[in-house]
């Protein structure tokens, strides 16, 4: 009586191809499609972040200059300009680094994982680079130049920062971590096959 392994060897020898052959072209197309989706997600986030930062960096100081006051608007503008330049440089470095991956299945998977990890870091830094400095400068400016009550202003600043933090964590948990987990599983399976 032959066992399963012996039967499998006979079957493989007759077909001249392993029973569990991997359709590399189909897997590569699927992984490239997922990588394209991740790339688009990262590109849109970066472009929106850069454009918003540069828009605020231009609009607020112009408004302060026209009105003749609002030193805090110059501060917020400078913070946004610095954050926009930082985001643009990070984007440029990311795109330079992505060229180094080969177009094999494992290369595309590694590129996708790198993009997800980059985007996760960007989202975590987003709160500290954009929301917190702008919220603090706006809170200080409104406290100094406004007749409204201070607790209301600072309560709003705290709520905005907390909502931003919650939204960022939610985005990471719902969008990035499941993709990262599935790509890690695929990467480990590809490592077993090779």
In the predicted structure, residue 170 carries a pLDDT above the cut 80: yes
Q: Quick one: pLDDT band at residue 89, thresholds 50, 70, 90?
A: very high
CA distance 46 to 88: 8
Q: What is the H or E stretch that residue 7 is in?
A: helix 4-15
Other CB atoms within a 10 A radius of the CB of residue 97 amount to 13
Tokens of 150: 């201070």
**57 in Cβ contact with 78 (< 8 Å):** yes
CA distance 143 to 158: 14
CA distance 135 to 65: 21
Segment 122-135, tens digit of pLDDT: 888 877 777 777 77
Q: Taking residues 6-25, report their average pLDDT.
A: 57
List all residues 6 or more positions away from 39 whose beta carbon is below 8 Å from its beta carbon. 115
CA distance 75 to 57: 9
pLDDT higher at 22 or 144: 144
CA distance 130 to 147: 26
CA distance 117 to 61: 35
Which pLDDT value is given to residue 19? 45
Other CB atoms within a 10 A radius of the CB of residue 16 amount to 6
CA distance 76 to 53: 10
For residue 57, give Cα distances in angstroms to 49, 84, 108, 157, 188.
12, 9, 37, 20, 45
Tell whether pTM > 0.75: no
Instruction: Determine what percent of the chain is predicted with pLDDT higher than 90.
Output: 4
**76 in Cβ contact with 134 (< 8 Å):** yes
Tokens of 116: 């997800």
């Amino acid at each position: 009586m032959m066992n399963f392994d012996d039967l499998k060897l006979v079957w493989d020898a007759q077909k001249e191809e392993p029973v569990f052959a991997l359709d590399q072209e189909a897997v590569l197309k699927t992984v490239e499609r997922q990588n394209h989706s991740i790339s688009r997600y990262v590109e849109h986030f970066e472009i929106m972040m850069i454009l918003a930062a540069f828009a605020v960096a231009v609009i607020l100081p112009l408004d302060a200059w026209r009105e003749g006051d609002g030193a805090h608007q110059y501060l917020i503008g400078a913070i946004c300009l610095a954050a926009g330049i930082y985001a643009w440089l990070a984007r440029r470095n990311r795109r330079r680094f992505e060229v180094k991956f080969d177009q094999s299945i494992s290369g595309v998977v590694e590129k996708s994982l790198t993009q997800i990890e980059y985007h996760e870091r960007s989202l975590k830094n987003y709160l500290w680079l954009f929301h917190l400095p702008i919220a603090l400068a706006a809170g200080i400016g409104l406290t100094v130049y406004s007749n409204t009550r201070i607790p209301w202003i600072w309560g709003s600043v705290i709520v905005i920062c907390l909502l931003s933090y919650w939204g960022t964590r939610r985005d990471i948990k719902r969008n990035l971590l499941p993709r990262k987990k599935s790509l890690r599983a695929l990467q480990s399976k590809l490592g077993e096959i090779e």
